[in-house]
Structure 1
Amino acid sequence: MVASDVLSVPPGPLPREGAASPGARPGHPLWRARPYRADVWLAIGLAVATITVTLVSSGRAPYHPPDAVTAALATVSALALAWRQAAPLAAMAVTSTIVAVNAAAGYAVVAVQWPAWLALFGCFSVGGRGVRIASTALCVMAVGGYALFDRGALTVEDMAGITMSFLIATVGGDAARSRRAVAAAQHAQVRGEAREQALAAERLLHEERGRLAGELHDALGHTVNVMVLQAGVARRLFAENPAFAQQALADIENVGREALGELDRMLRVLHPVQDPRQGDEGLDVSDDDPDDAHGQAGAQGLAALADRIRATGREVDLDAEPVDLSAGSERVLYRIVREALTNAVRHTDTGRIRVRVSRVADQIRVEVFNEGAGFASPVPGRGLIGMRERARLEGGSFEAGPVEGGFRVLATLPTHPATGS
């Protein structure tokens, strides 16, 4: 064989060491392996090229002129590359054998060598250690057969060309294999990290639901105790003080309605929810707040929150329109703003924080924008999961993440008439 350009071919899948060839299916022999479509087109194109080059060559002495036999050898050798990745050793064996047979038949090697080099490249690109060793042995046998049977004088230039072609095919194939191995390792690492984030997000979601259920348990326990005490008082004073008894019954009715609303939200916690992995940030904000506990979850509560953040040295721009929300939705709005402000202070030291509460059509739009740069994409965390869950339970939506100029938390809540006591 003589030197020739080694054509670049698209890399195929990377098998494990000692594994079967990529195209071979379990329980099927290699000769029944299904070739890859790219290799089929490569084989067809190379067959046309080798036949053309072989037939137009002069066939000068001491070689036979090109005829149907040499065209058939070139065609079979090129078409064997269809199994370059599906059965690399088979392709190497066929192309190597044809090189030796071509020389023994008295024909010039011309283009019949090209498929052999490409098959060697494929063996080093997709095969394991055994495949690479076997393909090297086949290549040596092909070169030996060519040197033994070729009618021309084997010059130093020919041997240099053969050596260079061998190095290009083996080193290039091994480099392609290493490149795919690195890409596969990176892909596996990314998938592993994504799986860990998904598990962390699911765990935090269950923890958040458990915490919300605990809050509901405490609230319902308090409410039921109050209702029982008021019912007892109303029963005892019904004849002596009917007006007081009627007021107690009215209070029981109002408290019962609020309890039913809380219970309805709890039931919705148990329903499937939107995937919390989309846009979470590793935040953990406590819900223990004296203002929230004492019912200051409206405009006064938001103003108190803004003043508290300003006391830390941060500039807070609060623009809250009067909104008409139920008591539960008003608490959700307050908690979302509170957690967003806490997160902004915790993760940044400077930059203005803008809080906007406005009504858009039949929804209340809550936006907390933390000015700054270099914010990373959110990762699973309790803070944003809790805000998303609260908004969802009220029938609204939630999103958070870096945008141009800073980090934005945006929630929408449906408007409900405030329930009077």
Structure 2
Amino acid sequence: MRISDAWLTVGFVVAAASVTVLAPAGPPYHALDPVGVGLAVGSALCLLWRRVAPIPVVFATSVLVVVNAAVGYATTVTQWPAWISLFTLFSLRGATARVIGSIIELSAVGGYVVLDRAPVGGADVFGVAVCFLLAVVTGDAARSRRAVSVAEHARVRAEERTELARELHDAIGHAVNVMVMQAGVGRRVFADDPTFAREALGNIESVGREALGELDRLVRVLHAAEPVTDLTGLVERVRAAGRELRLNAEEVAVSEGVARALHRIVQEALTNALRHTETGRIDVDLVRSNGTVVLEIVNQGRHRPVGPPGRGLANMRERARLVGGEVEAGPIQAGFRVRATLPAEARS
């Protein structure tokens, strides 16, 4: 039972008692007495359980409407809990429960028409029809809105999971590839150049610690943007793996979302370069022209197959798309090029 249901019930109990006492119905209905007040208050009290047991509540309030008419009291108050319970049923339950609730409610209407002390005219029938339609239509609308809200929540959660998976792929995948490359270089030169091998081991430890820190941040869903113009860490990792890298990056002012996208695109492109080639220079250029930032990474190494294709290029394109940009990637005469064109300010 919700607090809102309790307050609704209290309000109806007070209203039922007040209306019954302050505005008693005249002939041909019974005068005010404890039975009439009890029926009105009892009907309102049923609303306490309208969410947990909507069909029994529809049944109970409908029976009280019929009993109220049978013993000679006006339905001024006792009808409203019945309509509210029908609204609740339509807002919470499916087709079968709705049919059952409608049959119960319409049966109560029939009992009221037959047993009420006053003649039931056209205006009364019209009022009952309007109340019935309002209860079922607004109840169905409430259920539809809730379904849309649930679907939207599920969509947002799915997007968050996808984004988290993309962050893991970009950050941890890059670190693992760099560690594998450095370990390979260190193993090959271990006997001839132990100093370099020790440096490679130190770099592996450093990259591993950074990867653990990145993983911890992702698990805590702290997506802090990294400065895109500060590519020193990425560059040094690649150079430590034995690859030549030329960096030409201007100091560019971009929004946080674009900064994150650019950083991850550079990271993914360098990861792919290390994964698919062993030698050859890598060129990284970053410039800004008016409101556009252009990033270009060219890998001059000879491509080598390393298993089935991954999600790298797809992730880069998706990151660019989310901020209103695009990524072009493919072989060129000088090797393989990734070119990202992004707005300086992320587009909503």
TM category, shorter: 0.5 to 0.7
**Structure 1 range deviating more: 113-122 or 58-67:** 58-67
Q: 2:175, 2:208 within 8 Å by CA — same for their partners in 1?
A: no
Identical counterparts, % of pairs = 32
Cα 1:70/1:214, change in 2 over 3 Å: same
- State the partner residue of 2:137: 171
Task: Give the length in aligned residue pairs.
Answer: 268
Output aligned runs, 1:204-353, within 5 Å. 204-227=170-193, 255=196, 258-268=199-209, 271=212, 273-276=215-218, 278=223, 292=239, 305-306=248-249, 316=250, 350-351=290-291
CA drift at 1:199? 2.8
Task: Tell me how far apart the structure 2 counterparts of residues 342 and 126 of structure 1 sit (CA, whole Å).
Answer: 58
1:185 to 151, 168, 176: 151
Task: Tell me how far apart the structure 1 counterparts of residues 165 and 292 of structure 2 sit (CA, whole Å).
Answer: 34
1:281-306: per-residue Cα shift (whole Å, max 9, x none)? Answer: 9x9x9x899x9588988xxx66xx15
Q: 1:57, 1:66 within 8 Å by CA — same for their partners in 2?
A: no
Matched, 1:81 2:23: no
Task: Tell me how far apart the structure 1 counterparts of residues 345 and 167 of structure 2 sit (CA, whole Å).
Answer: 24
Output aligned runs, 1:327-406, within 5 Å. 350-351=290-291, 376=322, 406=345
CA drift at 1:266? 4.8
1:153 to 89, 99, 119: 119
Q: Secondary structure at the match of 1:274?
A: helix
Unmatched tracts of structure 1, length 5 or more:
1-34, 228-251, 307-315, 319-334, 354-373, 382-401, 408-421
Task: Tell me how far apart the structure 2 counterparts of residues 223 and 262 of structure 1 sit (CA, whole Å).
Answer: 15
1:324-372: per-residue Cα shift (whole Å, max 9, x none)? Answer: xxxxxxxxxxx88x98x95855xx764487xxxxxxxxxxxxxxxxxxx
Cα 1:171/1:259, change in 2 over 3 Å: closer
Unmatched tracts of structure 2, length 5 or more:
253-265, 271-282, 294-319, 328-341
Q: 1:36, 1:86 within 8 Å by CA — same for their partners in 2?
A: no
Task: Tell me how far apart the structure 1 counterparts of residues 167 and 99 of structure 2 sit (CA, whole Å).
Answer: 48
Cα 1:39/1:73, change in 2 over 3 Å: same
Q: Secondary structure at the match of 2:217?
A: coil
Q: 2:182, 2:201 within 8 Å by CA — same for their partners in 1?
A: no
Cα 1:188/1:295, change in 2 over 3 Å: closer
CA drift at 1:210? 2.5
* TM, length-normalised to structure 1: 0.55
1:2-21: per-residue Cα shift (whole Å, max 9, x none)? Answer: xxxxxxxxxxxxxxxxxxxx
Q: Aligned partner of 2:93: which letter?
A: G
Q: Secondary structure at the match of 1:226?
A: coil
Task: Tell me how far apart the structure 2 counterparts of residues 101 and 209 of structure 1 sit (CA, whole Å).
Answer: 76
Q: 2:17, 2:41 within 8 Å by CA — same for their partners in 1?
A: yes
Cα 1:215/1:256, change in 2 over 3 Å: closer
Q: 2:171, 2:211 within 8 Å by CA — same for their partners in 1?
A: no
Q: Secondary structure at the match of 2:72?
A: coil
Name the Cα RMSD after superposition.
3.9
Matched, 1:129 2:73: no
- State the partner residue of 1:200: 166
Cα 1:343/1:120, change in 2 over 3 Å: farther
CA drift at 1:268? 2.5
Q: Secondary structure at the match of 2:118?
A: coil
- State the partner residue of 1:59: 25
Higher helix content, 1 or 2: 2
CA drift at 1:209? 2.9
- State the partner residue of 1:48: 14
Cα 1:267/1:151, change in 2 over 3 Å: closer
Task: Tell me how far apart the structure 2 counterparts of residues 60 and 264 of structure 1 sit (CA, whole Å).
Answer: 91
Task: Tell me how far apart the structure 2 counterparts of residues 78 and 343 of structure 1 sit (CA, whole Å).
Answer: 73
**Structure 1 range deviating more: 194-203 or 51-60:** 194-203
Task: Tell me how far apart the structure 2 counterparts of residues 344 and 168 of structure 1 sit (CA, whole Å).
Answer: 62
Output aligned runs, 1:13-52, within 5 Å. 35-52=1-18
Cα 1:257/1:118, change in 2 over 3 Å: same
Task: Tell me how far apart the structure 2 counterparts of residues 352 and 127 of structure 1 sit (CA, whole Å).
Answer: 52
Greater relative contact order structure (CA < 8 Å, 6+ sep): 1
1:382-405: per-residue Cα shift (whole Å, max 9, x none)? Answer: xxxxxxxxxxxxxxxxxxxx99x7
**Structure 1 range deviating more: 35-44 or 190-199:** 190-199
Q: 2:84, 2:135 within 8 Å by CA — same for their partners in 1?
A: yes
Cα 1:116/1:352, change in 2 over 3 Å: closer
Q: Aligned partner of 2:183: which letter?
A: H
Q: Secondary structure at the match of 1:107?
A: coil
Task: Tell me how far apart the structure 1 counterparts of residues 285 and 3 of structure 2 sit (CA, whole Å).
Answer: 53
CA drift at 1:215? 2.2
Q: 2:91, 2:142 within 8 Å by CA — same for their partners in 1?
A: yes
Task: Tell me how far apart the structure 2 counterparts of residues 267 and 76 of structure 1 sit (CA, whole Å).
Answer: 69
Matched, 1:97 2:63: yes
Q: 1:51, 1:71 within 8 Å by CA — same for their partners in 2?
A: yes
